[in-house]
Structure 1
Amino acid sequence: MAFTLLSRSPRLVICALLCIFLFSEVGVPRRASALGINYGQVGNNLPSPPHVVQLLTSLRIGKVRIYDVNPQVLSAFAGTGIELIVTVPDDLVPGMAASASQALQWVTAGVRPYFPATRVTGIAVGNEVFTGDDEQLKASLVPAMRNLHAALAQLGMDTYVRVSTANSLAVLATSYPPSQGVFTQDAAPYMAQLLRFLADTSTPFWINAYPYFAYKDDPTKVSLDYALSNPYHVGAVDPYTHLQYTSMLYAQVDAVTFAAARLGYGNVPVHVSETGWPSKGDANEAGATVENARQYNRNLLMRQVSGEGTPLRPKLRLEVYLFALFNEDMKPGPTSERNYGLYQPDMSMVYNVGLNQLSTTSAASLSLATSPATRTDVRKDFGSLCLVTSLAILLITQALLL
C-alpha cells in the first residue's frame, strides 16, 4: 500500500501527511525534557554506580538508559529523581511472548522492588530486533511487549512505565528526502504491529540513529557540517515539503515519522534512543576524531537547550539520548566502538561539550520530569488528534483513487 500510495500522487499524499503533523501539535503542550544519556557497562574499569550517579547529578542529566536491570545500578538511582529506562535482553523476549507469567515475574523481580524510589519510566524490550536475522525473535517482540504492559498494569505501574523497543535506522528502505521515508518491505508488517501497540499505550517510537555512519561510509559526498548538525550551513531542502534541514539526525527522525504515517500512525512521536559520534577510530573510519565528536554532541545539546524540534514538528522538542556516558574498553568491533563516551572510566572528560556550563542553567530548562498530570493532558488531546487523523486519511484515500 505504501509504495502504491507514493507512486500515484506523491504531492497530494505529502499534503495529507503534513495535515496530520501540523494539527497534531495543536493543543499539545510542549513537554519538559532535556538531555538523556546511555550508560553502558561493557568495561572492566568503570566507576561504581554511586559515583556515576554523583556525576550525572552534578551535570543535571536527568534521563538515563541502561542495558539491563542491574540491581546495583537500580539501587544507586533511588531517590535521585533521574528517569531510568531499563532493558529486557533479546534472549528473554521469546519466553515473555509465550508466557504472561514470565513477563510478570521479570517485572516483579527486576523492577518492582526498586520502584518508585528509583524512577523507572521505560522498558526497552530487546535492541534493534527488526533488523536482525532471528525471525522467531522478530515475531515474539510485540507479543512480549504486550505481556510486559499487562504485567505493569496488574502491578499498577502502567501509568508511569512505558514499554517500547529501540530500532535501527535500517528499518527504513528510504530515508531521504525525509518526506519519502518508508519502512522496508521486510520490516513493514512488524512495524504495523509495533506502532499499533505504541499508539494504544501512548508510547514513543525509539530509533537509534547515527549520522556518523553515513559520513564514514561516503565522506566525499556526505557533508560533514550536515552530519554534525552544525546550525549555520545550508543543509538540505526536502523537494516535496520544502522544509530545510540543517541536521541529518533531525532529517532521519522526520523520515521515520513519515514512514509511520504511511502505516496510519503519524501521531506516534519519534524519540532518539541512541545517537553519538566516536572520538577515535581505525584508519578506515573517516571522521572519528575528538573535535568532530565534541562538535556533534555539543550541537545536539544546544538544540536541546533551545527547545528545538525537527522541521516537521518544530514545536515539539526532540528527545535525544546521547551514546554514551563512558568509553567502554570491552566492547567488540572496530576502535570506534570503544570510544563513544563523553567521559573516561576515571570520570575525566574525553572532551568538553559544555555540560559544566549547562549544569548552571536553571533546573526548569533542563528538567526531565514528565508528571502524570502532563501525561493526562496529552491523553485529553488524543480525541482531537484522532479527528484530525481521520480527515487526513480521507485525503490519502482520495490520493489513492487518482
Structure 2
Amino acid sequence: MDIVAEILGVPWRIRADQQSVMAKRLPVPALFSALILLLSLSDSVVQILSTGIGINYGQIANNLPSPDRVAFLLRSLNISRVKLYDADPNVLNAFSNSNVDFVIGLGNESLLDMMDPNKAQTWIQEHVQPYLPQTKITCITVGNEVLSGNDTQQMSYLLPAMQSVYGALVNLGLSKQVYVTTAHSLAILASSFPPSSGVFREELAEYIHPILNFHSQINSPFLINAYPYFAYKGSPDQISLNYVLFQPNPGMTDPNTNLNYDNMLYAQIDAVYSAIKVMGHTDIEIKISETGWPSEGDPNEAGATPENAGLYNGNLLRRIAEKQGTPAKPSVPIDIYVFALFNEDLKPGPASERNYGLYYPDGTPVYNIGLQGYLPRMDYSASNVNNALSTLSLLIIAIACLICA
C-alpha cells in the first residue's frame, strides 16, 4: 500500500503520443473499474470492507475534496449508498454510472414552495430527471427535523410539500424508482424508555398521524436521526458508556416485553416502532438516516474522543455486516446511514458538530475502524483523463512488482 500510495502521489508523466492512444482505448468509467479491480487484487495493496452501509456526505466546509475524488474514495470503500442534504449537481454528475444509490434533500426553506404542485414538478424536472438513470437517485427527503423545532407554520407545510413532490414524481413516471420521505430527530418522542412505552409528543400528533398515513399509502420509510451520544453527553454519570458504544454489558430488559437490549441505538429504534404502533401502524419500516459519534468536542462534551468514535462506528459496522435486527424486529436488518463522511469545519454549534467525520478532508482516516479507502490526489474526471491514465500505467507496474516480489 505504501509503495502504491507513494507512486500515486507523484505527478509522473508518459509521452503525449502514448497518452493519446491510451485515451482512445480506455474511457474514464473503464479507468475507474480497472483501478478498483487492480486495487482489490491483493490485501497488501488495499483492504476493502463491504458492509452495506450508507454514508452522509455533508458539505458545510471550505476544504473538502472535489466530488470526483470523493467518488473514487467511496468506490474504493465499496460504499454504494450516499445521502446528501441537497441536490448538488456537481456531486450527482461526479457519480454518474457509479451504481451508487443517492438520497437527495430539499431543505426546510423549500417547504412553502414545494406545496405548489407546479413548483414541485419544476424542481423534479431540474434536479432529478436530468441525472436519471446515469445517477441512481432513489429517495428525496423533504425537510429535515421539521417537527423538532418551534415553527408550527413550517410543520403545517411539511406533509403538503411531501405530497406535492410525490405527485410530481407520479406525473413524471418516477414514483416507482424514487420514494419520498422526511427525517425526524428523536425529540419527537415524549417517552422512549422502556422501548415498548415509546410514544410521540402529544402536541405533534396532528402532524405525525397524517404523515404516517402517507408513508403507509406510498410504502415509504420513516427516517430517524438517532444519536446515543446526545443521551450520554447529557447524563454521563447515569448512562453506561459500554451500553451506548455496543461494548459488552449486561444491557437492560424491557419489563413489558422481556426483550433484552445491549445497546441504546436498538432501544431507540424500537421505541419509535412502539410510537408508530400507538398511532395504528405496523406496516411502516424505520430507517436510520443519521447516527454517529464525534471524535472531538468542547470540554463540557463528555465522551467525544477518537477512541469512543472508533468503538461506536466500528461496532456498528460489524452489526450491520451481520444483518442484525433489533430485539423487537429481529428479522428486519437495521438500515443505517452513518454520519458523516468528512469533518466539516464550517458547521455552527459546539466543537463536536465539526468532528463527526470518518475522514479528514485530505482523505486521512480520523480513526481506524477497518475501512481502508483511497482518496486520489488528482481529479479523476474527464478533464483530467491524461493524468489519470498516467497513474493507471504506474499502478499496473507497481502491482506487478508486488505480485512478483
TM > 0.5 fold call? yes
Given residue 271 of structure 1, which amino acid in structure 2 is its aligned partner? Answer: K
Given residue 358 of structure 2, which amino acid in structure 1 is its aligned partner? Answer: L
210, 217, 232: which is aligned to 2:227? 210
47, 52, 68: which is aligned to 2:86? 68
197, 202, 206: which is aligned to 1:189? 206
Normalising by the residue count of structure 1, what TM-score does the alignment of the two structures yield? 0.79
Q: What displacement does 1:298 show?
A: 0.6
Asked if 1 retains the 8 angstrom alpha-carbon contact of 2:298 and 2:352, the reply is yes
Q: What displacement does 1:158 show?
A: 0.5
277, 298, 310: which is aligned to 2:326? 310
Distance 1:33 1:184, change over 3 A: farther
145, 164, 179: which is aligned to 2:181? 164
Aligned length: 324
CA distance in 2, matches of 1:351, 1:33: 18
SS at match of 2:168: helix
SS at match of 1:355: coil
Identity, % of aligned positions: 49
Normalising by the residue count of structure 2, what TM-score does the alignment of the two structures yield? 0.79
Which residue number in structure 1 is paired with residue 140 of structure 2? 123
Asked if 1 retains the 8 angstrom alpha-carbon contact of 2:245 and 2:312, the reply is yes
- Once the two structures are superposed, residues 221-256 of structure 1 have per-residue CA deviations (whole angstroms, 9 ceiling, x without a partner) of 0010111122x2211110000101111011100000
Given residue 350 of structure 2, which amino acid in structure 1 is its aligned partner? Answer: P
Which residue number in structure 2 is paired with residue 259 of structure 1? 275
Which residue number in structure 1 is paired with residue 38 of structure 2? none
Q: What displacement does 1:265 show?
A: 1.2
113, 120, 126: which is aligned to 1:95? 113
Which residue number in structure 2 is paired with residue 394 of structure 1? none
Q: What displacement does 1:33 show?
A: 8.1
Asked if 1 retains the 8 angstrom alpha-carbon contact of 2:340 and 2:356, the reply is yes
- Report the RMSD for the aligned CA atoms in angstroms: 1.2
Which residue number in structure 1 is paired with residue 55 of structure 2? 37
Q: How does 1:247-286 map to 2 (within 5 A)?
A: 247-286=263-302
- Alignment of 1:142 onto 2:159: yes
Which residue number in structure 2 is paired with residue 234 of structure 1? 250
Which residue number in structure 2 is paired with residue 334 of structure 1? 350
Asked if 2 retains the 8 angstrom alpha-carbon contact of 1:33 and 1:319, the reply is no
- Alignment of 1:59 onto 2:77: yes
Q: What displacement does 1:352 show?
A: 1.3
CA distance in 1, matches of 2:345, 2:79: 23
CA distance in 2, matches of 1:34, 1:259: 27
Which residue number in structure 1 is paired with residue 45 of structure 2? none
86, 99, 110: which is aligned to 1:81? 99
- Once the two structures are superposed, residues 324-380 of structure 1 have per-residue CA deviations (whole angstroms, 9 ceiling, x without a partner) of 0000000011110000000000011001111239xxxxxxxxxxxxxxxxxxxxxxx
Q: What displacement does 1:79 show?
A: 0.5
SS at match of 2:296: coil
CA distance in 1, matches of 2:303, 2:218: 40
Which residue number in structure 2 is paired with residue 397 of structure 1? none
Which residue number in structure 2 is paired with residue 17 of structure 1? none
CA distance in 2, matches of 1:294, 1:327: 14
SS at match of 1:287: coil
CA distance in 2, matches of 1:176, 1:52: 39
CA distance in 2, matches of 1:251, 1:63: 25
Gaps of 5+ in 2: 1-49, 374-405
Q: How does 1:317-396 map to 2 (within 5 A)?
A: 317-356=333-372
Given residue 206 of structure 1, which amino acid in structure 2 is its aligned partner? Answer: L
- Once the two structures are superposed, residues 53-86 of structure 1 have per-residue CA deviations (whole angstroms, 9 ceiling, x without a partner) of 1111110111110011111001011111111000
- Alignment of 1:46 onto 2:64: yes
Gaps of 5+ in 1: 1-31, 358-402
CA distance in 1, matches of 2:213, 2:95: 32
CA distance in 2, matches of 1:55, 1:247: 30
- Once the two structures are superposed, residues 126-149 of structure 1 have per-residue CA deviations (whole angstroms, 9 ceiling, x without a partner) of 110001111111001111111101
CA distance in 1, matches of 2:184, 2:93: 28
Asked if 2 retains the 8 angstrom alpha-carbon contact of 1:94 and 1:136, the reply is no
Asked if 1 retains the 8 angstrom alpha-carbon contact of 2:51 and 2:317, the reply is no
- Once the two structures are superposed, residues 248-296 of structure 1 have per-residue CA deviations (whole angstroms, 9 ceiling, x without a partner) of 0111000000100100112201110000000000100000000000000
